[in-house]
């Protein structure tokens, strides 16, 4: 067994590998860039080596620096995690030349499966179902159009060396095909240093289902069930679960056997994932094979009881797999949501900054894989993932219920995050019914996400909670001389709860002289049993016997409440104040329609207009690169450029003006 493992990665996956290595009694080594000097993975490891500047191209992607760190610390094995160098054959070869073990598959598997064109040809030869398409490299946009016309729209343009949703574009017509080819090529070049693109038929109403395989160097290959990853946005997985609510045992077996056949065709060893796309009739087709540990591996671990990282380490050390295919049993259900630093109310633009408050959920069946901590920073240089939240239950309903509760209790402040969106997805009736496709988010939220779109099982819960919170706050103030001269403490008070600028008004009476507290809302009585104290961010209570957890932020007399994916701004006032507030003027926001503003922090890589130019609606004005993704900004209306306020190469902040129109 290895004596010391270096993890050539960062963030949550580095922390994840360190946990297993430490449990096995193996020494650990972290590597870090300037931006990660104070990162959690650095503090978790036994040793840490600085490998360069913040940009990954100058640190985590530099093979020589990783090799040097191994030599410096005496690490005899490297786990690559996912991303970065995890599927880089040159890295594998360099480690082998130095006598350092690579905890992953061999060069043959990495090289053949890492290229989507080659992998598709191998899959066909191995008897694996494949999608119709053009498997050679596409020369240019015109050839892309010609090929797509032959296949028939819609088509998917995909980077041959791609992964993680980068270098992928769906085209529904010739214009989108030309534009998609350019975007896919640029992203592929930027992310992978390889701009080759191929084209295949885009399957409509698809479900994304993947098979986890594990193989050793003694000829043993098994599959450990499937994961359904159909809930995606821009080809990035958002929610994963195991098993799939869609597959029959027969189809699961057929998929698993094809995945094993493909792994054996490339002499695979270690953990790997064969991804399939399935249509509504359970016809399934090979997408790609990821020759590494997947982000979503925890759901497989929970339903199989296997530690995939430990199996990878043991296989790399030359051991045989400790189980056979007959030993693999799927028990219970697991869900995973990816918590990102992004703003779902601004088209999911990435967010960066310091985690001013960070409190992950705990409880039975709850697991949090993270690489951050309170006071830490989400950097613009890397993927904006904060954590993976995983829940386990005896069945899908229990796993989902635990996920919803855990998301309610996940408290993050300092950066924008997608927790409201994740909870809205979990609460969606279509998700509960298991009616999933990769188009789910686009179909259910065609105009973007808004918390107003989230149906509440009982809207009264937040109203009652707000009234109780307000009474506790005012009662305390009344006990301090001079704090609230117009308010007299009374065991029971009547309030008007106003939500979202008077959108709805509710009459509530709150009596705190009894235990539990009693609130009467529109004639209905609610008992509120809680030990919540002023200043706590989570209002946990049993309201009429139902356990609730509501996130609470106070801003003056306003209470911002977050529950089950919905967000409410609430003001609790006396009846007299509520009546007077109806006559208050509402301040109109400034008119920013004449400005092109940066929707995210990022790098301005293209600026296609200059002062005096006339632009048409839909015309591309600029391109911003953020988190290795290109984002095209287009004109909403015809206009004339008055002022250009930024230059190519500028690092932009959120809402920074780029162009002003006349």
Active site residues per annotation: 288
- Give the long-range contacts of residues 635-638, CB within 8 A, separation 24 or more: 635/596, 636/593, 638/614
Measured CA to CA, the distance from residue 595 to residue 656 in angstroms comes to 10
Specify whether the CB–CB gap between 42 and 32 falls below 8 A. yes
Could you please report the per-residue DSSP string of 271-322? EEEEEEEE-TT--EEEEEEE-S--TTHHHHHHHH---HHHHHHHHHTTPPPS
Give dist(CA 187, CA 164) in Å, integer: 11
Give the DSSP letter string of 117-179: HHHHHHHHHTT--B--EE-SPP-SHHHHHHHHHHH-SSEEEEEEEEETTEEEEEESSHHHHHH
3-state secondary structure 12-63: HHHHHHHHHHHHCCCEEEEEECHHHCCCHHHHHCCEEEECCCCCHHHCCCCH
Cβ atoms of residues 345 and 450 within 8 Å: yes
Cα(163)–Cα(191) distance, rounded to whole angstroms? 9
Q: How far is CA 619 from the centre of its chain?
A: 30
Q: How far apart are the first and last CA of the chain?
A: 69
Q: Starting at the edge strand that comes first in sequence, how are the strands of the sheet with 629-634 ordered?
A: 629-634, 620-626, 602-607, 651-652
Q: What share of the chain is helix, strand, coil (3-state, %, to 5)?
A: 30, 35, 40
- Please tell me what DSSP assigns to residue 451: G
| All residues at 6 or more sequence positions from 394 whose CB lies less than 8 Å from its CB, including other chains | 332, 333
- Dihedral-angle region of residue 147 (phi above 0 means left; psi in -120 to 50 means alpha; beta otherwise): alpha
- Contact indicator for 169, 156 with CB cutoff of 8 Å: yes
B/e letters for 183-204, b = 16+ CB within 10 Å, e = fewer, are bbbbbbebbbeebbbbbbbbbe
Enumerate residues 6+ apart whose C-beta is below 8 A from 83.
Answer: 9, 13, 163, 164, 383
Is the separation of the CB atoms in 102 and 292 below 8 Å? no
Q: Output the CA–CA distances (angstroms, integers) from residue 97 to 64, 94, 100, in the order listed.
A: 12, 5, 8
With tokens 């909403």, the residue in question is: 636
Copy the structure tokens of residue 607.
């600026």
Rounded (10°) CA dihedral 177, 178, 184, 187 = -150
Distance in angstroms (rounded) separating the CA atoms of residues 427 and 606? 40
Task: Give bridge partners of residue 558 from the DSSP assignment.
Answer: 555, 571
Rounded CA gap, 270 and 659, in Å? 51
In 3D space, the residue among 660, 635, 648, 651 whose CA is nearest the CA of residue 600 turns out to be 651
């Amino acid at each position: 067994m290895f004596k010391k493992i270096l993890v050539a990665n960062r963030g949550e996956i580095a922390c994840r590998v360190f946990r297993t290595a430490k449990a096995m009694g193996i020494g650990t080594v972290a590597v870090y860039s300037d931006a990660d000097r104070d990162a959690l993975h650095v503090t978790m490891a036994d040793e840490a080596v600085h490998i360069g500047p913040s940009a990954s191209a100058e640190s985590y992607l530099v093979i020589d620096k990783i090799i040097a760190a191994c030599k410096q610390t005496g690490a005899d094995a490297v786990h690559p995690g996912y991303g970065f160098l995890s599927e880089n054959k040159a890295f594998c070869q360099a480690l082998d030349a130095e006598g350092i073990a690579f905890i992953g598959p061999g060069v043959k598997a990495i090289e053949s499966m890492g290229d989507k064109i080659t992998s598709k040809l191998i899959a066909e030869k191995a008897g694996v179902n494949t999608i119709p398409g053009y498997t050679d490299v596409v020369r240019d946009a015109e050839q892309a159009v010609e090929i797509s016309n032959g296949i028939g729209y819609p088509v998917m343009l995909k980077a041959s060396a791609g992964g993680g949703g980068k270098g992928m574009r769906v085209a529904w017509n010739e214009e989108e095909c030309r534009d998609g080819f350019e975007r896919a090529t640029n992203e592929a070049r930027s992310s992978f240093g390889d701009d080759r693109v191929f084209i295949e038929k885009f399957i409509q109403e698809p479900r994304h289902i993947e098979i986890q395989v594990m193989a050793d160097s003694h000829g043993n290959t098994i599959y450990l069930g499937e994961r359904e990853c159909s809930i995606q946005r821009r080809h990035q997985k958002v929610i994963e679960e195991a098993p799939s609510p869609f597959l029959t045992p027969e189809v699961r077996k057929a998929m698993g056997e094809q995945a094993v056949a493909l792994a054996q065709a490339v002499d695979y060893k270690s953990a790997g994932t064969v991804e399939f796309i399935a249509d509504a009739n359970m016809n399934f087709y090979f997408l790609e094979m990821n020759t590494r540990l997947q982000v979503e591996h925890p759901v497989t671990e929970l339903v199989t009881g296997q530690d995939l990282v430990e199996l990878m380490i043991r296989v790399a050390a030359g051991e045989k797999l400790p189980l056979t295919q007959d030993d693999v049993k799927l028990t219970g259900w697991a869900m995973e949501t990816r918590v990102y630093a992004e703003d779902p109310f601004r088209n999911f633009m990435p967010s960066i900054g310091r985690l001013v408050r960070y409190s992950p959920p705990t409880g039975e069946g709850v697991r949090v894989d993270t690489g951050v901590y309170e006071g830490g920073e989400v950097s613009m240089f890397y993927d904006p993932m904060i954590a993976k939240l995983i829940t386990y239950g005896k069945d899908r309903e229990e796993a989902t219920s635990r996920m919803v509760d855990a998301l309610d209790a996940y408290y993050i402040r300092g950066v924008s995050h997608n927790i409201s969106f994740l909870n809205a997805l979990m609460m969606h009736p279509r998700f509960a019914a298991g009616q999933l496709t990769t188009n789910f988010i686009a179909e259910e939220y065609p105009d973007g996400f808004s918390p107003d779109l989230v149906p509440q099982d009982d809207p009264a819960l937040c109203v009652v909670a707000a009234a109780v919170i307000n009474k506790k706050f005012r009662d305390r103030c009344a006990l301090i001389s001079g704090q609230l001269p117009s308010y007299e403490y009374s065991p029971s008070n009547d309030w008007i709860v106003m939500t979202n600028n008077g959108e709805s008004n509710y009459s509530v009476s709150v009596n705190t002289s009894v235990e539990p507290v009693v609130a009467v809302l529109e004639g209905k009585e609610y008992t509120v049993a809680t030990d919540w104290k002023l200043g706590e961010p989570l209002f946990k209570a049993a309201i009429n016997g139902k356990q609730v957890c509501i996130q609470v932020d106070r801003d003056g007399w306003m209470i911002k409440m977050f529950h089950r994916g919905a967000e409410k701004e609430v003001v609790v006032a006396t009846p007299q104040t509520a009546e007077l507030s109806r006559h208050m003027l509402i301040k109109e926001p400034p008119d920013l329609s004449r400005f092109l503003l940066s929707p995210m922090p990022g790098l301005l890589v293209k600026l296609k207009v200059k002062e005096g130019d006339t632009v048409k609606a839909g015309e591309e004005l600029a391109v911003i690169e953020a988190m290795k993704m290109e984002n095209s900004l287009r004109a909403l209306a015809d206009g004339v450029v008055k002022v250009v306020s930024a230059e190519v190469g500028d690092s932009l902040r959120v809402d920074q003006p780029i162009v002003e129109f006349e």
